[in-house]
Structure 1
Amino acid sequence: MTFDLKQHLAKRGKYIETALEGILSTPLLPDETARPGRLLAAMRHGALNGGKRLRPILVYETAKMFGRVDDGVLKAACALELVHCYSLVHDDLPAMDDDDLRRGQPTVHKAYDEATAILAGDALLTLAFDVIAEEAVHKDPGVRLTLSRELARASGIGGMAGGQMLDLESEHRDRTEAEIRQLQSMKTGALLRYACRAGARLADAPEADIDRLTRFGEVIGLAFQLADDLLDVEASPEVMGKATGKDAEAGKATLVRLWGVDKTRAELVRLQREADKLLGSYGPRAETLSALASFIVSRTS
């Protein structure tokens, strides 16, 4: 029977969506009653409106490859997705990318207002660390602390937030290949790298395997950004569910702009081969991760 990645992603995505729904519906503490309705509604709008759920799925599938599948892994996966959703809410703001649509729906600041969107992003980010600190995530508090610290670093000044700053500073300026690679490894790659690393750590994989999966995360992180930049050039807004062509309009520094389409596609092929090589020693256990790497390289939306 041929592995159907599309069906598998839909199933896993629904699994993640249900878990997120629970997190954003149930008070974390018995006496927690003061949840402002408008803020919670905006958080739900930013986190529950679909999406590929790629990052949490990578956490889940990596842990599964090393033999762990349970609610604790799911909670850790959701914590990462909450961080990702916060970043999208803030990225869409007028002061950032100024987008009206996200996944084909009005962005949070359009559905509500800018102040509410800022607070919704703040609340999603901080909620993530509440979730990942839960005992169910891992029996060892030292592992939970490591996961929290690494998530903070992947999200913060040396990771996603810092990469976003470098991206803003690069608008309408020439940047070298090394500079673009650096900002993209932070802005996009850091959370994808964390996803694979965290999945291995949750399953108590040996350090050598954690390092190998970290590199796998780096490879697919770069591939994701290259594919995303190609889609911004070539795809329609209807397919993407958001405006396209904005990178060129904003004068953003991208490798597609530096290399051109043909060289970018060639690099995606090379990255696919490296990803396959990194997973080769795991055999059939790595089938889903290998299929996910192919999906990232060749995605059309």
Structure 2
Amino acid sequence: MTRKGYYGEISIGTPAQKFNVIFDTGSSDVWVVSNKCQSDICDSHRKFDHHQSNSYNSEKDEDDDEDTLSVDYGTGSVQGHLGKDKVSLADGQIVIQEQVIADAYTLSRDFIGSPFHGIFGLGLAGLSSSQHDPPFLSMIEQNLVEQPVFSIYSQHNAGEIDFGGIDKDRFEGEISYVDNIDSSYWMMAIDSMEFEDQSFQDRKAIIDSGSTLIIMNKNDASLYHQSIPGAMSNGDGTWSFPCKNVNTLGPLTIKSGDTTLTIPADKLFLTPMSATSKNCLSGISDQEMETENSWILGDVFLKNFYTVCDTMKEE
């Protein structure tokens, strides 16, 4: 699936060129649409012109040719030229020097009409397609954040990311930490997930702010929806079910170590399929996964919890 989720503004270059980007924990590269992209896919996007930035430097490979980036987001992909430039965010409170970025000259049609102009990857170094430091690692190395953490608060059509700290006004109680078990993704081990009469054991889950839904492999998603009366596959990886049946369902419970996370049933679906439809879009979808026991926890999960990604607590 292409990256979808909450986006915000960053600036690149000198003088600053502004772009709306997805802040995506499921990838580790920074790219924006290039002015060299002339296809209709790029027509509705702001475009970066590196020739207009006096702080831009091209990345060169050993043969003195421009280095390139190619990123595959499942059904979406981009290709671009790599360079280094100044990247500003948080209204200029954070300014990353010489961050490796790509200006994307080719985008797949999955990005046509999207309201954002690029992606700001917040994944770990092992996920970087450019083989360069992801931007949050650059922030840490350049001493731009007080702590090596960032925290995500998302609600319906709103949210914020705290770089370098934790906003205690955004949650109640204490934060429960689970181990990160991967060098590329923010990934946790799930001992069990319970929903109605279904029980799933020993899964791995990627925290992905760039995805809207909770994504399971096809078999798990099918078993999950068997517990919902009237649920049906929409044929594109998504599922729907009669909205009235939400009231008959119990919560989804996820257990990881000593931590138990509970999502009530009324948070596990999206709005009705259309203005006149009595069916709602399920918050759980399916797709082919690289490993069969892996899931992706997108915004349907994140909007229920204040989520802290702490580089000091990586395994």
TM-score w.r.t. the length of structure 1 is 0.28
Higher normalized helix content (fraction of residues): 1
Larger strand share, 1 or 2: 2
With structure 2 as the length reference, what TM-score do the two structures score?
0.27
